[in-house]
A and B are shown apart, each in its own frame.
Chain A
Amino acid sequence: MNNDPLADTGLPRGYDLLVRHLKERAVKLGEWALAMVHDGWRAYTAGDLEAAQAVLDRDTHLDRLDEEMEHATIAFFVLRQPAAIDLRTAAALLKITTHLDRIGRLGFDMARITLDGTDAALNDIREHLQQMDEIVEGMVQQSVDALGDDRVELARELFRRDDTVDRMHREANRMIVVALEEHPDLAPRLANDLLVARHFERIADNACKVAEKTIYALTGQRRSEYLPRHAYHPYVLEKGPDPSPRSRK
Chain B
Amino acid sequence: MPETKLRVEHLTAYYGGKPAISDISLDFPDRKVTAIIGPSGCGKSTLVRCLNRLHETGPFTNVEGQVLLDNEDIYQLDPVRIRRRIGMVFQKPNPFVTMSIYENVSAAMRFNGRHSREETDRAVTRSLQQSALWEEVKDRVDSPATSLSGGQQQRLCIARALAANPEVLLMDEPCSALDPIATAKIEELVRQLKENYTVIIVTHNMQQAARVADYTAFLYIGKLVEFGPTEQLFERPQDKLTESYITGRFG
Measured CB to CB, the closest approach of chain A to B45, in angstroms, equals 23
Q: Once the chains bind, are B236 and A84 in contact (CB under 8 Å)?
A: yes
Contacts of A83 in B (CB 8 A): 206, 210, 234-235, 246-247
The docked-state distance in angstroms from the alpha carbon of A72 to that of B246 is 21
Measured CB to CB, the closest approach of chain B to A88, in angstroms, equals 7
Mark out the residues of chain A between 71 and 85 whose CB falls within 8 Å of any chain B CB in the assembled complex.
81-85
Q: Once the chains bind, are A15 and B235 in contact (CB under 8 Å)?
A: no
A-B CB contacts (within 8 Å), total count: 29
Contacts of B58 in A (CB 8 A): none
Q: Once the chains bind, are A88 and B249 in contact (CB under 8 Å)?
A: no
Q: Taking chain B's interface residues, is the majority helix, strand, or loop, or is none over half, making it mixed?
A: helix
Q: Once the chains bind, are B234 and A15 in contact (CB under 8 Å)?
A: no
The docked-state distance in angstroms from the alpha carbon of A15 to that of B234 is 17
Contacts of A85 in B (CB 8 A): 243, 247
Known A220-B235, A220-B236; judge A84-B247 contact (CB<8 A): yes
Decide yes or no whether A86 CB sits under 8 A from chain B. Answer: yes
Decide yes or no whether A87 CB sits under 8 A from chain B. Answer: yes
Q: Once the chains bind, are B237 and A84 in contact (CB under 8 Å)?
A: yes
Measured CB to CB, the closest approach of chain A to B74, in angstroms, equals 33
Mark out the residues of chain B between 192 and 251 whose CB falls within 8 Å of any chain A CB in the assembled complex.
206-207, 210, 234-237, 242-243, 246-249
Q: Once the chains bind, are B207 and A86 in contact (CB under 8 Å)?
A: no
Contacts of B235 in A (CB 8 A): 83-84, 87-88, 220
Mark out the residues of chain A between 45 and 86 whose CB falls within 8 Å of any chain B CB in the assembled complex.
81-86
Q: Once the chains bind, are A15 and B236 in contact (CB under 8 Å)?
A: no
What 1/0 mask marks residues of chain A from 1 to 34 whose CB sits below 8 Å from any chain B CB? Answer: 0000000000000011000000000000000000
Interface size on B, residues (CB 8 A): 13
The docked-state distance in angstroms from the alpha carbon of A220 to that of B207 is 20
Max count, chain B CB within 10 A of own CB: residue among A82, A84, A87: A84
Contacts of A84 in B (CB 8 A): 234-237, 242-243, 246-247
The docked-state distance in angstroms from the alpha carbon of A83 to that of B235 is 6
Residue of B with least CB distance to A216: B236
Measured CB to CB, the closest approach of chain A to B230, in angstroms, equals 11
The docked-state distance in angstroms from the alpha carbon of A83 to that of B206 is 9
Known A88-B236, A220-B236; judge A15-B247 contact (CB<8 A): yes
The docked-state distance in angstroms from the alpha carbon of A75 to that of B248 is 17
Measured CB to CB, the closest approach of chain A to B172, in angstroms, equals 23
Residue of B with least CB distance to A87: B235
Mark out the residues of chain B between 167 and 186 whose CB falls within 8 Å of any chain A CB in the assembled complex.
none
The docked-state distance in angstroms from the alpha carbon of A112 to that of B245 is 50
Q: Once the chains bind, are A86 and B247 in contact (CB under 8 Å)?
A: yes
The docked-state distance in angstroms from the alpha carbon of A1 to that of B234 is 32
The docked-state distance in angstroms from the alpha carbon of A104 to that of B64 is 64
Mark out the residues of chain A between 109 and 129 whose CB falls within 8 Å of any chain B CB in the assembled complex.
none
Measured CB to CB, the closest approach of chain A to B24, in angstroms, equals 23
Measured CB to CB, the closest approach of chain B to A87, in angstroms, equals 6
Q: Once the chains bind, are A87 and B248 in contact (CB under 8 Å)?
A: no
The docked-state distance in angstroms from the alpha carbon of A162 to that of B249 is 37
The docked-state distance in angstroms from the alpha carbon of A82 to that of B236 is 12
Measured CB to CB, the closest approach of chain A to B244, in angstroms, equals 9
Contacts of B207 in A (CB 8 A): 81
Contacts of B246 in A (CB 8 A): 83-84
Measured CB to CB, the closest approach of chain B to A86, in angstroms, equals 5
Residue of B with least CB distance to A221: B236
Known A84-B236, A220-B236; judge A15-B206 contact (CB<8 A): no
The docked-state distance in angstroms from the alpha carbon of A87 to that of B231 is 11
The docked-state distance in angstroms from the alpha carbon of A88 to that of B247 is 11
The docked-state distance in angstroms from the alpha carbon of A87 to that of B237 is 11
The docked-state distance in angstroms from the alpha carbon of A81 to that of B242 is 16
Measured CB to CB, the closest approach of chain A to B97, in angstroms, equals 36
- A-B contact list, 11 entries, CB within 8 Å: A16-B249, A81-B207, A82-B247, A83-B206, A83-B234, A83-B246, A84-B235, A84-B236, A84-B247, A85-B247, A87-B235
Using CB atoms and an 8 Å cutoff, list the residues of chain B in contact with chain A.
206-207, 210, 234-237, 242-243, 246-249
Additional A-B contacts beyond A84-B243, A88-B235 (12; CB < 8 A): A15-B247, A15-B248, A15-B249, A16-B249, A82-B247, A83-B206, A83-B210, A83-B234, A83-B235, A83-B246, A84-B236, A85-B247
Q: 8 closest A-B pairs (Cβ-Cβ)?
A: A220-B236, A83-B246, A84-B243, A83-B234, A84-B247, A84-B237, A86-B247, A84-B246
